[in-house]
Chain A
Amino acid sequence: MFEQLPPGNTETVSIDIDGHGQRVPAHFTVAAALLASGRDACRLSAVSGAPRGPFCMMGVCFDCLVEIDGVPNVQGCMTPVREGMQVRAMQGKARLG
């Protein structure tokens, strides 16, 4: 669905999305990495369980919530990727403890 522009910087990092290793440009946000990997849905919504994915890409819509390194409900579009990052889909409501 998305096409990448030729990157100005070819540096990449390895992240893990739902158990699958990915190499992604180091300047990507998590939401960009999700879209580039072909995932247009990254979670099941907390109330109805409907599939949702990155939409606004600017921190407003809260539809790109994912679990990052064990912390639930993090905005993927506001979080730059980091080497070794573990990204998981949110399955409905967050579970604490």
Chain B
Amino acid sequence: MTKGMIPRTFDIVVAGGGLVGMAIAWGLVREGRRVAVCDGNDSALRAARGNFGLVWVQGKGGRCLPYAQWSLDSSARWAAFAAQLLRETGVDACVERPGGIELCETPQQLDEGRQLLESLRERDAALDYAVLDNTALRRRIPAASPALAGALYSRNDGHASPLFTLRALHEAFQARGGVYLPDNEVKEVIPRPSHFDVVTPSGMLEAGRVVLAAGLGNARLAPMVGLDAPISPLRGQIMVTEKLAPFLDYPTLVVRQTREGSVMLGDSAEQVGFDDGVSRDVMADIARRARTAFPLLAHARIVRAWGALRIMTPDGLPVYEQSQRYPGAFIAICHSGVTLAAAHADILAPWIAGGPRPRVLEPFVTARFNPSTTHSHV
């Protein structure tokens, strides 16, 4: 499509073409809205590159039950979400939900994990779980080490391919008439009385509503529309092995095997500013934990390693908010773009399209970071 053919006026412009932005954008075109997505260029920092691919509920929301419920709702929606994407695009997001396993090296880790999951289950019976001793763990995963203390299992967890999910969302969005504008990072959003002007390198777009889903870029964009994005980068490093014959039927927090056979090793967290590189000490620790859990990985060939920057709020919880000063401007911040993709498309998008604000989103506002504001939900 040449520049002259792109319409310049949209119901909604989404800033950010990663998993969060595209899940919302697809949800919006499903609602019949005319939508454009303004994405950055290939060198933009992209959290979607660092996704491990977990659809994870277990252990989330210990200090905020609605976050656990929001994650559970999205996890439960994932199969239908992926099925619709497959129907509309032929692209398989490779979701599987066999339940997820958190491996525990020591009895103390197992006990602490059990206490957290029990405190969640007491508050919501749907957040059930099982404690696996080493024998029970190795019945499910024979390759697990006999030296592990045990594991925690939740049937609510699963995993998917972040790359195929993103590709499916892009194709489904465009198949329904959505306009994707790559290399078009939003420079400025200017609130006007009747609309928003969205300034991009290729010109100005007019939007009835705007959605800030630009990851770390939200920190720069939010103040332009009277919103706040208290976020900082948290680096995660990932290593990937050669494709191996299947040995791991369940996703875990540190190791998961993709449908193609690659094994992803990860679960690091570092505050190193905007450096998305890798470091030897962290990779060594990731490798140590992976081979402690699965001794056969000592012989696996590592073929790629990379770092990516997650988007973290001070308490790790998402933010979904509409600007009070400039209604029609929305912001979405989270660090679980895969887990929450289904809820973003099914529940967040209809609200942004003009529906009522879902009650489940009540806690996810930035007022919780303001000590002078009392907020009963956090």
The docked-state distance in angstroms from the alpha carbon of A97 to that of B294 is: 11
| CB under 8 Å from chain A, chain B span 116-171 | 143
Q: Once the chains bind, are B243 and A93 in contact (CB under 8 Å)?
A: yes
Contact status of A73 and B242, CB under 8 A, knowing A96-B299, A97-B299 = yes
The docked-state distance in angstroms from the alpha carbon of A95 to that of B300 is: 9
| A95 cross-chain contacts in B, Cβ below 8 A | 244-245
Q: Once the chains bind, are B244 and A97 in contact (CB under 8 Å)?
A: no
The docked-state distance in angstroms from the alpha carbon of A67 to that of B83 is: 38
| B299 cross-chain contacts in A, Cβ below 8 A | 96-97
| B260 cross-chain contacts in A, Cβ below 8 A | 46-47
Q: Once the chains bind, are B245 and A94 in contact (CB under 8 Å)?
A: yes
The size of the chain B interface, using a CB distance under 8 A, is: 15
Interface membership of chain A positions 51-92, coded 1 if the CB is closer than 8 angstroms to chain B and 0 otherwise: 000000000000000000000110000000000000000001
The docked-state distance in angstroms from the alpha carbon of A93 to that of B242 is: 8
The docked-state distance in angstroms from the alpha carbon of A93 to that of B246 is: 9
Q: Once the chains bind, are B243 and A96 in contact (CB under 8 Å)?
A: no
The docked-state distance in angstroms from the alpha carbon of A93 to that of B243 is: 6
| A73 cross-chain contacts in B, Cβ below 8 A | 242-243, 301
The docked-state distance in angstroms from the alpha carbon of A46 to that of B295 is: 22
| B295 cross-chain contacts in A, Cβ below 8 A | 97
Give chain A's interface residues, CB within 8 Å of chain B. 46-47, 72-73, 92-97
Secondary structure call for the A interface: loop
| CB under 8 Å from chain A, chain B span 21-51 | none
A-B contact sample (16 more), CB < 8 A, given A46-B243, A94-B243, A96-B247? A46-B260, A47-B261, A73-B242, A73-B301, A92-B245, A93-B244, A93-B245, A93-B261, A94-B242, A94-B300, A94-B301, A96-B244, A96-B245, A96-B297, A97-B295, A97-B299
Q: Shortest Cβ distance from B249 into chain A, in angstroms?
A: 15
Q: Shortest Cβ distance from A33 into chain B, in angstroms?
A: 22
Q: Does B175 contact A (CB under 8 A)?
A: no
| B378 cross-chain contacts in A, Cβ below 8 A | none
The docked-state distance in angstroms from the alpha carbon of A92 to that of B246 is: 11
Contact of B296 among A72, A92, A97 (CB under 8 A): A97
The 5 closest A-B pairs by CB, nearest first: A46-B243, A97-B296, A93-B261, A96-B296, A93-B245
Q: Shortest Cβ distance from A21 into chain B, in angstroms?
A: 28
| B242 cross-chain contacts in A, Cβ below 8 A | 72-73, 94
Q: Shortest Cβ distance from B55 into chain A, in angstroms?
A: 22
Interface membership of chain B positions 84-103, coded 1 if the CB is closer than 8 angstroms to chain A and 0 otherwise: 00000000000000000000
The docked-state distance in angstroms from the alpha carbon of A92 to that of B297 is: 18
In this complex, the member of B243, B244, B297 whose beta carbon has the largest number of chain A beta carbons within 10 angstroms is B243
The docked-state distance in angstroms from the alpha carbon of A46 to that of B242 is: 9
**Residue of chain A at shortest CB distance from B261:** A93
Q: Shortest Cβ distance from B27 into chain A, in angstroms?
A: 31
Q: Shortest Cβ distance from A49 into chain B, in angstroms?
A: 12
Q: Once the chains bind, are A94 and B244 in contact (CB under 8 Å)?
A: yes
Q: Shortest Cβ distance from A71 into chain B, in angstroms?
A: 8
The docked-state distance in angstroms from the alpha carbon of A91 to that of B246 is: 14
**Residue of chain A at shortest CB distance from B262:** A46
The docked-state distance in angstroms from the alpha carbon of A47 to that of B299 is: 20
